[in-house]
Chain A
């Protein structure tokens, strides 16, 4: 089996792919990036919490112009996962306004980002429509 690593350290692949957030022990504010202290309450203790893998699209755009090397068009979005805002691409959906809308229900899906020279596959994540989605496994 191909060795795999997640694109970011807040994507956990086992046993099922899901995101984790660094949650402040003091006020429960959630962050995906490493924080030295909580921007909400100033606390310095964090623990990891699982983020639900289903959510609702709160905002999106279809990016047609990006930096060189980034394939376009693609759908960038903010997904509300049970009260936690997640930035991600929408995947397995045509990148046009007829197929993407705010309020649509989506679920986490992983995608291969690439394979490095030692044969390790990096897996990224996106969200795909819940309705009509094919089983990614």
Chain B
């Protein structure tokens, strides 16, 4: 028996940016209460809570949220899956409903990252004065910077350069043009961290972080939270007409990891697991890439957005540069990508990102996206990837009514 359809009943995203006066719990609470209010329900209606906060490192963000919004004794799942943490929380709530354990779930993702700087890369502070082997490479000293790079901008730069090498016709300027698009899009999003348009020259001449990614081509560290309330079909039918009309159908909720491949042992391969997730999502929803009205994809770096055009099958294999050059992924193009401004300008509060991108899609499908509304949007796709790796893809459809 096919399980019931799942619906997003309520969803909320806080302003992304600097929130010096709010802590992680404040932001998560604002998102959770916002999502419940948006759905017209309360914590008493919710049967499962899944929550993520990567920097909290196991502090039990779910229980901390309960203490602010309602301790009803329901099961809490604190989840972590790198940058796919938010999508994992959402999928966990969906799975609980699909398993028949409850008919309504709440998913929350939150992060405080403003001013965090470079988040990855090995420190050399603790090096000893005599060589001693340790670790799985039997290393006598830190490897970051000596055996390649562990920084995210560097890893994703190589991912873009590998694609450029394989297919050709792709250069620094093309990657910079992708950032130009996303920053231009962000000017219409009042909740984005940055709403500043950059010229191509400004982007290319800005501080180089890891060639070819300059600073405005990297995701913006910021504070933010997002939350979603999900319900099954039977529950939705008991709710009001306006709740039913604003509900957004979750036509596919997919999570994948890396299948074994030779090359991904030394450089993460973000392509195969994304392609697999997209294929599964299209199969599950009966929706093809040509049916999508908009896409929010994981542009943690400009170099990443390009490869995901291909991975999400928005173009023919190898056709990502041609797709971009055609203008298709600008907001007035055939398949608008990251009309929110994307991670490069909207910002990337890690655990919130995988729900915030779903919020953006829902906003358009409900016709509530204001100045940046993609007119007549009926179907959208939200994609995140966390290195390690995990890939989340959600396909969303406007209610038929």
Residues of A within 8 A of B (CB): 5-10, 29-34, 39-40, 58-72, 74, 76-78, 83-89, 97, 102-103, 113-114, 116-118, 120, 122, 124-125
Interface status of B153 (Cβ within 8 A of chain A): yes
Contact residues in A for B153 (Cβ distance below 8 Å):
61, 63, 65
CB of B346 to closest CB in A, whole Å: 22
B210 engages A63 (CB within 8 Å):
yes
A10, A85, A86, A125: residue with the most chain B Cβ atoms closer than 10 Å:
A85
Instruction: Enumerate 12 A-B pairs (CB-CB under 8 Å) in ascending A order.
Output: A5-B131, A9-B137, A29-B260, A39-B260, A60-B158, A64-B208, A64-B210, A66-B118, A67-B123, A70-B145, A84-B262, A122-B131
Name the residue of chain A whose CB is nearest to the CB of B158: A59
Interface residues on B, range: 35 or more
B211 engages A78 (CB within 8 Å):
no
Name the residue of chain A whose CB is nearest to the CB of B172: A97
Q: Which of B124, B147, B211, B266 contacts A69 (CB 8 A)?
A: B124
Render B124-156 as a binary contact track against A, CB cut-off 8 A, 1 for contact. Answer: 110011110100111111011111110101100
B265 engages A85 (CB within 8 Å):
yes
Given contact pairs A64-B207, A67-B151, enumerate 4 new A-B contacts (beta carbons under 8 Å).
Answer: A59-B161, A63-B145, A77-B158, A117-B129
Render B245-278 as a binary contact track against A, CB cut-off 8 A, 1 for contact. Answer: 0000000000000001011011100000000000
A5, A30, A61: residue with the most chain B Cβ atoms closer than 10 Å:
A61
Contact residues in A for B118 (Cβ distance below 8 Å):
65-67
The CA of A29 and the CA of B145, in the complex, are separated in Å by 26
Q: Which of A65, A84, A86, A89 contacts B151 (CB 8 A)?
A: A65
- Residues from 302 to 350 in B contacting A, C-beta threshold 8 Å: none
CB of A42 to closest CB in B, whole Å: 10
Interface status of B162 (Cβ within 8 A of chain A): yes
B121 engages A70 (CB within 8 Å):
yes
The CA of A5 and the CA of B267, in the complex, are separated in Å by 26
B130, B207, B260, B265: residue with the most chain A Cβ atoms closer than 10 Å:
B265
- Residues from 178 to 214 in B contacting A, C-beta threshold 8 Å: 207-213
Interface status of B40 (Cβ within 8 A of chain A): no
A32 engages B266 (CB within 8 Å):
yes
Q: Nearest 7 A-B pairs (CB), nearest first?
A: A9-B138, A61-B157, A102-B165, A70-B145, A59-B162, A67-B121, A76-B149
Contact residues in B for A116 (Cβ distance below 8 Å):
128-131
CB of A89 to closest CB in B, whole Å: 6
Q: Given that A61-B149, A70-B124 are known contacts, is A78 also in contact with B267, CB under 8 Å in the complex?
A: yes
CB of B9 to closest CB in A, whole Å: 40
A64 engages B209 (CB within 8 Å):
yes
A97 engages B211 (CB within 8 Å):
yes
Residues of B within 8 A of A (CB): 118, 121-125, 128-131, 133, 136-141, 143-149, 151, 153-154, 157-159, 161-162, 164-165, 172, 207-213, 260, 262-263, 265-267
B147 engages A7 (CB within 8 Å):
yes
Contact residues in A for B137 (Cβ distance below 8 Å):
8-10, 32-34
Name the residue of chain A whose CB is nearest to the CB of B120: A67
The CA of A56 and the CA of B284, in the complex, are separated in Å by 40
Q: Given that A59-B162, A78-B266, A85-B262 are known contacts, is A66 also in contact with B208, CB under 8 Å in the complex?
A: no
Contact residues in B for A125 (Cβ distance below 8 Å):
147
Name the residue of chain B whose CB is nearest to the CB of A27: B260
Name the residue of chain A whose CB is nearest to the CB of B163: A59
Name the residue of chain A whose CB is nearest to the CB of B145: A70
B211 engages A85 (CB within 8 Å):
no
Name the residue of chain A whose CB is nearest to the CB of B260: A40
CB of B161 to closest CB in A, whole Å: 5
The CA of A70 and the CA of B121, in the complex, are separated in Å by 9
